[in-house]
Amino acid sequence: MSVMDKIASSKRESFITNSPWIIHYDAASCNGCDIEVLASLTPLFDVERFGVVNTGNPRHADIFLVTGSVNEQCKPVIEQIYNQMVEPKVVVACGICACSGGVFKQCYNTMGGIDQVIPVDVYVPGCAVRPQALIDGVVKAIGILRAKREAMLDGKPVPTPALRVGAELEVVRHSPDDEPAPTGADASDAAKETK
Amino acid sequence: MATKTVIPFGPQHPVLPEPVHLDLVLDDETVVEAVPQIGFIHRGLESLVDKRDYKRFVYVAERICGICSFGHSLGYSELVESLMGFQAPERAQYLRAIFHELSRIHSHVLWLGLAADAFGFESLFMHSWRLRERILDVFEACTGGRVILNFCEPGGIVRDVEATELDGIVDMLATWRGEYGQIANTFLNDSSVRSRLCGVGHLSREEVIEYGCVGPMARASGYANDIRLAGIGGYGHLAEFAPVTSDEGDCYARCKVRVEEVLQSVDIITELAGKIPEGPVFEDIKGKPADGAEAITRVEQPRGEAFYYAKGNGTMNLERFRVRTPTTTNIPGMAMALRGCDLADVPNIIMTIDPCISCTER
């Protein structure tokens, strides 16, 4: 590898993707997901061993963890935090309320999901979201962060998911027709019956 | 002539896990007035009684707040039982009290961590939350959930906790208590903690009563109101204990009351687990709430008195459901305690009321 290649590859490697800083905001959630976000920073789960640091400043943050179904009053706050973050940035919707509105979807005051307000890159379901799932979501977010940074280095537009205003989250329901073919002992029994 | 400055505090602020906005009017470094503004996480979940029947609404009621989730499911269950003239089985009442005390431990230790974070003691925050995970392990083993338990329902408890499991909880708490004693010692005796908390945000007993403060905030100013020992919604007849109070009325006293209440909860759980009766834990409630029937109940949440009201209309849905939560009544007291304090003490005073904004705004 030549010296120029080394410089080029070191430019590709970034402290942003090796040590992403997160910011957390509670957008009309029940608090359960928020304390799980904090719990994943504390000794049992300890995401700091992956270089993930919690920050209170949007300008320092790379990953935006949002919990809860949005209401009209916190909508401008979320937009402001999102706009204050510098590119590349990734939004993680933590918990089923942040994904689709969850149990509060039918309430008069909720808009139903963070993706009604800002583009969401990673959806982490759960009520309340488990720290393990959250860590998995953040790891996925780091991959997206890397892809966005690569795009910026190459001078391409940063891939940003579209807003889903008014769209329903896809719910995959398994009907009895979709059941997988029986296997093993069941399969031989089923074969006998058809004979 | 000094000019007054208005500093916005929140809704997004490093010390606040939940959004609340305060306009701090400052005269130099001193807070002259604090004007709270809430509504950032109002969801309007009380209106969901139209869409869920009264038995299934307990899942929504539990999600009023993720920290005192068990307390809200307990309050709603007792409310529906009182509306239907139903008495939960005795073993279920004991188990409810045990789990309510466990959730009080989890909530107070969580709060101790957040308070340590607010006065800049990062390692104490980490140790508090490490101890809290042990309580969450009990929840997970017994109910399957860590913060939202879905354990208490109108009619009793959804799953019995066997005697061996109860013994395990008591044994765990006995060893846990020793580890907790170390961080409790730091909270109460460390000079850097004392210098941040002592004499800050003082409220006298008269002020606490006048502003309607409840829970540990009132008890820290010498006003011994503990709903667990007072009539409806209490369980003073199941276990013997007295309210933990302190007379100082400052941030240190509020911290001390919570530190001691954790130990008190351990004692209550040990006592209840020793004399829990055998029997069923769940009995299905039949029928619908009568038209115009009303019921109230109260629960001593970790943060203070929560008040529940329901009205039936003869269908499976309730006509009205209403909760008044402890933080709602503690916010005026907080605004008064903030008057005259230094700007640097504002996070401490806000944290020592143990704000639960999700409860407040529902």
Can you give the pLDDT of all 362 residues of chain B as single tens digits?
567 888 888 787 777 777 888 888 888 888 888 888 888 888 888 888 888 888 888 888 888 888 888 889 988 998 888 888 888 888 888 888 889 999 999 999 999 988 888 888 888 888 999 899 988 888 888 888 888 888 888 888 888 888 888 888 899 899 998 889 888 888 888 888 888 888 888 888 888 888 888 888 888 888 888 888 877 767 777 777 778 888 888 888 988 999 999 999 998 888 888 888 888 888 888 888 888 888 889 888 888 888 899 888 888 888 888 898 888 888 888 888 888 888 888 888 888 888 888 888 87
Both structure tokens of A152? 């910026």
Q: Does domain B44-320 have CATH number 3.30.2310.20?
A: no
Per domain, the residue ranges of chain B are 44-320
HSE-up of residue B230 (Cα within 13 Å, Cβ side): 13
CA distance B42 to A74: 9
CA distance B136 to B69: 13
Higher per-residue pLDDT: A80 or A175 = A80
CB contacts < 8 A, A to B, total 124
* Cα distances (angstroms) measured from residue B28 to each of B9, B35, B340: 16, 17, 11
Contacts of A47 in chain B (CB under 8 A): none
Angle at CA of residue B357, ends A39 and B29, nearest 5°: 95
Contacts of A109 in chain B (CB under 8 A): 42-44
Asked if A48 is an interface residue toward chain B (Cβ–Cβ < 8 A), one would say no
Asked if A121 is an interface residue toward chain B (Cβ–Cβ < 8 A), one would say no
Asked if A22 is an interface residue toward chain B (Cβ–Cβ < 8 A), one would say no
A contact test, residue of B9, B12, B127, B317 with most A CBs within 10 A? B12
DSSP H helical ranges for chain B:
57-62, 69-83, 90-118, 122-143, 163-189, 191-197, 205-211, 215-219, 251-274, 326-338, 346-352, 357-361
Exposure string of B273-297, with b = 16+ CB inside 10 Å and e = fewer, is beebeeeebbeebeebbeeebebeb
Contacts of A73 in chain B (CB under 8 A): 39-40, 42
Asked if A60 is an interface residue toward chain B (Cβ–Cβ < 8 A), one would say no
Please name the residues in contact with B286: beta carbons below 8 A apart, sequence gap of 6 or more: none
CA distance B133 to B110: 10
Contacts of B48 in chain A (CB under 8 A): 104, 106-107
Task: Map out the domains of chain A with their CATH numbers.
Answer: 3-194 (3.40.50.12280)
Contacts of B356 in chain A (CB under 8 A): 31
Would the pLDDT of A54 be above 50? yes
CB nearest to B130's CB, from A42, A81, A128 = A42
CB B125 within 8 A of CB B116: yes
* Cα distances (angstroms) measured from residue B346 to each of B13, B186, B221, B245: 12, 22, 19, 24
Query: Is the N-terminal amide bond of B310 cis, ω within 30° of 0?
Result: no
CA distance B347 to B121: 13
Burial status of residue B45 (CB atoms within 10 A of its CB: 0-12, 13-18, 19 or more): buried
**Nearest CA to CA, how far is A184 from chain B (Å)?**
32
Contacts of A108 in chain B (CB under 8 A): 44, 47
